[in-house]
Structure 1
Amino acid sequence: MNPVTVIRGTGPIILGQPHSGTHVPDDIFARLNDLGQQLRDTDWHVPRLYDGLLANVTIVRANFSRYVIDANRDPSGTSLYPGQNTTELVPTSTFDNELIWHTNPTEADIAHRLESYHRAYHAALEAEIARVKADHGLAVLYDCHSIRSRIPHLFDNQLPDLNIGNNGGQTCAPAITSAVTAACAQSPTYSHVVNGRFKGGWTTRHYGRPEDGVHAIQMELAQRCYLASEAPPFAYDASRANTLRQLLGTILTAVEDTVKSSLMTEI
């Protein structure tokens, strides 16, 4: 299986989808324990959730599971959230701090996965950012994520529905963040926060360079908003999802309108 899927559009927005993949090569899958083989920390059904919401959008999607290697972690292994619980470049445990391997991956395993998966994903993403920027003079990377609503090992209490991250305002123009938050604020259904527990992962922080015309923003969704249950088999709830999809479509359209409007002069 190709580790990355790229769907090219002609617009200025790129949807990054680094954690929705479930492919695990057979030799790696055999080394996962029963819990690890459930792949429970996947960003379940994110491609379906965003499908068709915005015309001419580009999509860069990792097809491999984050348990193979996490495409949204610093390849050096440096923690995104020093002093807080998180998972590694190649996770050794679930978000609940439960072990997932019979035998942990070796340094050689990690080096191989960096080359074959992590770098493949980011090479594709870098190429699309360069192409879109060449076409439009800028590119907007909207990084699509989801996570279970309650994970005591990672955060207290229940996560807000929509978690917007721009690393403290560093990764995109204020007008883009304002467009996203304004769309969220208009919803009577969903709660939202900016730079709460999730401030943007390595992808957002690495590529977000507004001064160079590359803007990045992360959206972390609480899975209760569109799943039937946040437990296996993590089934998609079409009724819940359709309500959320309406808002996500509004958000993406607001970002596109901002980029195309007179606010461009401020960006």
Structure 2
Amino acid sequence: MSFLEVIRGDGPVVLGMPHTGTWLPDGVREALNDRGRALADTDWHIDRLYSGLLDGVTVVRTTVHRYAIDMNRPPDGESLYPGQNTTGLVPLTDFDGTPIWDNPPDAAEVERRRALWHAPYHAALAAELDRVRARHGLAVLYDCHSIRGEIPHLFEGVLPNFNIGTNDGTTCAPELQAAVAELCREAEGYDTVINGRFKGGWTTRHYGRPAEGLHAIQMELAQRTYMAEAPPWTWDAGRATRLRAVLARVLAAVERFARNSCHT
């Protein structure tokens, strides 16, 4: 099976979806323990959540689960959050800090997976961003994520609904960050933080080069906004419909920024 799904649109916005996949090759699945095979740290339903919200959008998605290799981590395995609990290029634990492997991969196996899946995913993403930028004069990468709202191992308390990451304002123009944040804050019944616990993963930090016409922003959603945060991770139609309306406005604002910036 192909582990890459690319939908090419003619607009200036690219959606990255590195964590929606649940596919694991047999050798990887067999090396996981029961805890790992539960795949608890999937960004459940994110592709469904964003489907059809913006005409002409490009989507780059992988079906590989993050336990095989995490597409949103640096290829050298360097921590994105020094001094804080996090997971690596190939996670050894889940988000609760519990080991997920019966037979953890060695360095050679990690490198094999990086070359097999991580590098091609980012080659595809880079190619689409280059294509979009060549067409429009700039491209905006909106990286789509979600996570359980309460994970004491990673953060204290309850995570806000909308977690906007721009690596402290360095990965996109300030007016783009402001436009997304304003719409999130205006949405009734939701709360928002900018560059809180999640400042954007490697994808956002690597591709976000505003001076070169590449803007990147990460949206980390608390999963309670559209689903049940416990197995079997059920889609909540009522909550999802309400959230999709907000996300549609957000993506429309992202596209407006891009099209307006093309002519300045």
Q: What TM-score does the superposition give when structure 1 sets the normalisation length?
A: 0.97
Q: Indicate the residue corresponding to 2:110 in structure 1.
A: 110
Q: Indicate the residue corresponding to 1:162 in structure 2.
A: 162
Deviates more, 1:230-239 or 1:242-251: 230-239
Find out whether 1:255 has 2:251 as its counterpart: no
1:102-251 superposed matches below 5 A? 102-227=102-227, 229-251=228-250
Q: Indicate the residue corresponding to 2:20 in structure 1.
A: 20
Shift of 1:167: 0.4
Amino-acid identity (%): 58
Cα distance between partner residues in 2 of 1:165 and 1:263: 23
CA contact (8 A) 2:138 2:262 kept: no
Write the letter of the residue equivalent to 1:247: V
Q: Indicate the residue corresponding to 1:35 in structure 2.
A: 35
Cα distance between partner residues in 2 of 1:184 and 1:128: 27
1:57-76 superposed matches below 5 A? 57-76=57-76
Residue 257 of structure 1: SS of its match in structure 2?
Answer: helix
Shift of 1:118: 0.3
Find out whether 1:84 has 2:84 as its counterpart: yes
Residue-by-residue CA offset, 1:119-175 (whole Å, 9 max, x unaligned): 011010010011000000000000000000000000000000000000011000011
Q: Indicate the residue corresponding to 1:8 in structure 2.
A: 8
Gap runs ≥5 in structure 2: none
Residue-by-residue CA offset, 1:228-254 (whole Å, 9 max, x unaligned): x21111011111101000000000001
Find out whether 1:95 has 2:104 as its counterpart: no
CA contact (8 A) 1:3 1:120 kept: no
Residue 74 of structure 1: SS of its match in structure 2?
Answer: coil
Shift of 1:261: 2.6
Question: Would the alpha carbon gap of residues 94 and 146 (structure 1) be closer, same or farther in structure 2, given more than 3 Å must change?
Answer: same
Write the letter of the residue equivalent to 1:189: G
Shift of 1:263: 8.6
CA contact (8 A) 1:144 1:218 kept: yes
Cα distance between partner residues in 2 of 1:85 and 1:4: 29
Shift of 1:262: 6.3
Cα distance between partner residues in 1 of 2:111 and 2:72: 16
Gap runs ≥5 in structure 1: none
Q: Indicate the residue corresponding to 2:53 in structure 1.
A: 53
Shift of 1:212: 0.3
Question: Would the alpha carbon gap of residues 262 and 37 (structure 1) be closer, same or farther in structure 2, given more than 3 Å must change?
Answer: closer
For the aligned residue pairs, the C-alpha RMSD in angstroms reads 1.0
